[in-house]
Structure 1
């Protein structure tokens, strides 16, 4: 049985591991450790915030090692999960199918999405959990003809406690994440190695023979990189494989205002969304802005907030631990357009526009440094790659989704797994 090494245990890595184990002997290498939700008392930290000790978002890693934070030269905060389950454990649990860019390349992922719908619990049934402020925002958006729609969620939200900590790791098992796919692969014999960071792939006579890690060398017949849009390109470049100088990150900017007793900090993350051409709007309490942005000085329970998530240009790149990412003038104009709509929504809520304040721009949906083209629409394999090296994450995305990407990443990984089975069995 051929050996397959999968680098990364997030959405793409877990999906392809589940698909391939049994047909191949699969080993998943994860650079982080086992994931634990953020367990500290947020009320205590809110009191501690007043001391001024919180001044840099990177401090959160001391308390929550599963959240890796880096900054660009423009001070944009980049966030990704590091641990078993990757960023899926820190996501808002959104199960949106966003594959327009793939359809434009002639790629049909219907079968892969249908398979995911059968295997993962996905629900819209969480509106009964919404707080009054969320319901009011939804109605205002509807009256403004913004066509708001509840976002489908991974999991079963009957047991949701409205703790508001979705993006800090669900403590109650309500939100599905990729660890469940990893367990399914393990049950079939897959091996999972944590604390195993891959530096590069080994090349022999034009083929990959394995990967180099700080734990030593792992031999493989096939290697699949699914380390995420920040890390997969670094591994490729360390291996002498050129990537494009492109990077999108789906920047998030929150517009907030004081609203006594709105309890957005106790709301499930992103309960509904307004889809615009280049961005989405959604209720979202930004913990990073609350703890580290001095403008967020009101008590958490009294801050009402809407996010603008932008489908940005691919103007950037990543190299080792350095991320270069700038927003173009067009990006900034579109972001400002979203901010203006949020302020109008707040105005109709009863909040003066001049009383709103902004959060810190942060991002966590990187991709696009080796994007698929029409040429690779059937093979999902760039000609720069050895024939036994594949990618199964958002590095392949032709453009930013401007939307939560997990379901689409897993569909792409499912297609990659199917292609590998057809080629190598």
Structure 2
């Protein structure tokens, strides 16, 4: 008597792979009630959490726990905002949360502004949508993520063909950088930029669905059975005899325990270390944040606020330079007194020193002497670029130093290249976000975080 595999081959003409046979057999067993799927808790819905959930859904009953609520793009009009700015009511960057609840802002003791996303999709919804592969530091540890990056390129539209959306100002800046032998390159973007409307609000949430963010991975996972719980803040991981039993979380007014066979922390570089420390697992004081400093000037009709964010970049050894309209500086820095449409800025994104920490009370982070030297070097190059654009150096002003790419407090080592598992962690607890990076990238990290999270998911599934 023929079995179902022979029937399948006779009808389709295809032979099932060993992996497909194992998966089909597992589904058959589950359907017959012979196997109960193991439970996986993923903490966080950003780049790492969404990528891990999508991968784990193949073999686990997955639940994603997200602190924030549904994400809504910033919707206020420019005329209304500029009028509000003139009232002088904007004086502290933390006030941005009153206008845009999905953006969470903290300040360090020396005034550096720390930004993170707190809605569904994490910081991916507030990113510039860049799709850079930045795994050189991981390769140096013996970690090869080629398969994971290829998988991502198949799943997500990535393009650097958006020069037709650039304003004349950006095109001229690009040519100046070429003349200065700075080798500028268009930045690859996550999404379908043929439909870009040049609204200029990439970092405030794309209202038109042009920019890809991790909510699309979440939807795919949900369509396959993943449960999503929003407004749920995980406080700690619960362990017993060296094994994780689940997580303790605050859901509204209630303290809730979520049982799990596997827990993946992907709450971001500011939150994952706090959860670990609350669970009795010490992290390293190696926090990096990728600080941003913008160098700006008045240039009438530049319309940089009406253009996609970070259209191209100049890669230097310790930082990148890119055209960028800095909303935090525009609203809260008194030097940014010109209308948005007449403000032209270049961003310096620094690969800062691994020196800092975060706990339940505050973020401890200061720029080291070498960080400040490198920032000043970047400021000098930006001033030269603007000077060649017929802007006098004495008309140039600086923005507020802000940062939004935290990580590094549980860095991978060569010994963990195969396992992605720090020996401090219980055997069924993993981390899948920028906390794993051995050092600052000084570059957009989203694509690389997702590749790492996919690898973590594969490692876990191979163990089951």
TM-score range, shorter chain: over 0.9
Q: Which of 198, 216, 222 lines up with 2:234 in the alignment?
A: 198
Q: Distance in 1 between matches of 2:43 and 2:361?
A: 17
Q: Structure 2 unaligned runs (5+)?
A: 1-36
Question: Where does residue 165 of structure 2 map in the other structure?
Answer: 129
Secondary structure class of the residue paired with 1:365: coil
Q: Is the aligned partner of 1:369 residue 2:409?
A: yes
Deviations 1:276-322 (Å, cap 9, x if unpaired)?
00000000000000000000000000011000000000110000140
Deviations 1:64-120 (Å, cap 9, x if unpaired)?
110000000110000000011000000000000011110110111111100000100
Once the two structures are overlaid, the 10-residue window that deviates more, 409-418 or 319-328, is 319-328
Q: Which of 455, 458, 462 lines up with 1:415 in the alignment?
A: 455
Q: Which of 298, 301, 325 lines up with 1:285 in the alignment?
A: 325
Question: Where does residue 63 of structure 2 map in the other structure?
Answer: 27
Q: Is the aligned partner of 1:88 residue 2:88?
A: no
Q: Distance in 2 between matches of 1:12 and 1:283?
A: 27
Once the two structures are overlaid, the 10-residue window that deviates more, 328-337 or 38-47, is 38-47
Secondary structure class of the residue paired with 1:197: strand
Q: Distance in 2 between matches of 1:22 and 1:361?
A: 42
Q: Distance in 1 between matches of 2:361 and 2:349?
A: 24
Q: How far did 1:348 drift?
A: 0.3
Q: Distance in 2 between matches of 1:22 and 1:353?
A: 57
Q: Which of 62, 77, 83 lines up with 1:47 in the alignment?
A: 83
Aligned counterparts, 1:379-398, within 5 A? 379-398=419-438
Q: Distance in 2 between matches of 1:97 and 1:380?
A: 19
Question: Where does residue 404 of structure 1 map in the other structure?
Answer: 444
Q: Distance in 1 between matches of 2:147 and 2:235?
A: 34
Q: Is the aligned partner of 1:112 residue 2:148?
A: yes
Q: Distance in 1 between matches of 2:302 and 2:99?
A: 27
Question: Where does residue 275 of structure 1 map in the other structure?
Answer: 315
Q: Which of 89, 92, 117 lines up with 1:56 in the alignment?
A: 92
Q: How far did 1:22 drift?
A: 2.9
Q: Is the aligned partner of 1:350 residue 2:386?
A: no
Q: Distance in 2 between matches of 1:321 and 1:414?
A: 32
Once the two structures are overlaid, the 10-residue window that deviates more, 206-215 or 250-259, is 206-215
Question: Where does residue 311 of structure 1 map in the other structure?
Answer: 351
Q: Which of 326, 329, 334 lines up with 1:294 in the alignment?
A: 334
Q: Distance in 2 between matches of 1:259 and 1:62?
A: 30
Q: Distance in 1 between matches of 2:289 and 2:250?
A: 28
Question: Where does residue 250 of structure 2 map in the other structure?
Answer: 214
Question: Where does residue 214 of structure 2 map in the other structure?
Answer: 178
Question: Where does residue 69 of structure 1 map in the other structure?
Answer: 105
Q: How far did 1:21 drift?
A: 0.4
Q: Is the 8 A contact 1:22 1:189 kept in 2?
A: no
Q: Which of 9, 14, 24 lines up with 2:45 in the alignment?
A: 9
Deviations 1:325-350 (Å, cap 9, x if unpaired)?
01110000000000000000001000
Question: Where does residue 97 of structure 1 map in the other structure?
Answer: 133
Q: Distance in 1 between matches of 2:347 and 2:152?
A: 28
Secondary structure class of the residue paired with 2:105: strand
Q: Which of 73, 81, 102 lines up with 1:37 in the alignment?
A: 73
Q: Distance in 1 between matches of 2:452 and 2:393?
A: 42
Q: How many residues align?
A: 424
Computed over aligned residues only, the root mean square deviation of the Cα atoms, in angstroms, reads: 0.6
Q: Distance in 2 between matches of 1:102 and 1:53?
A: 45
Q: Distance in 2 between matches of 1:67 and 1:11?
A: 16
Which of 1 and 2 has greater Rg? 2
Secondary structure class of the residue paired with 1:422: helix
Secondary structure class of the residue paired with 1:214: strand
Q: Distance in 2 between matches of 1:420 and 1:321?
A: 33
Q: Distance in 2 between matches of 1:299 and 1:322?
A: 34
Q: Where do 4+ consecutive residues of structure 1 move more than 2 Å?
A: none
Q: TM-score with structure 2 length normalisation?
A: 0.91
Q: Distance in 2 between matches of 1:206 and 1:348?
A: 62
Question: Where does residue 359 of structure 1 map in the other structure?
Answer: 399
Question: Where does residue 230 of structure 1 map in the other structure?
Answer: 270
Q: Structure 1 unaligned runs (5+)?
A: none
Secondary structure class of the residue paired with 1:55: coil
Q: Distance in 2 between matches of 1:385 and 1:50?
A: 51
Q: Is the 8 A contact 1:208 1:388 kept in 2?
A: yes
Question: Where does residue 150 of structure 1 map in the other structure?
Answer: 186
Q: TM-score with structure 1 length normalisation?
A: 0.99
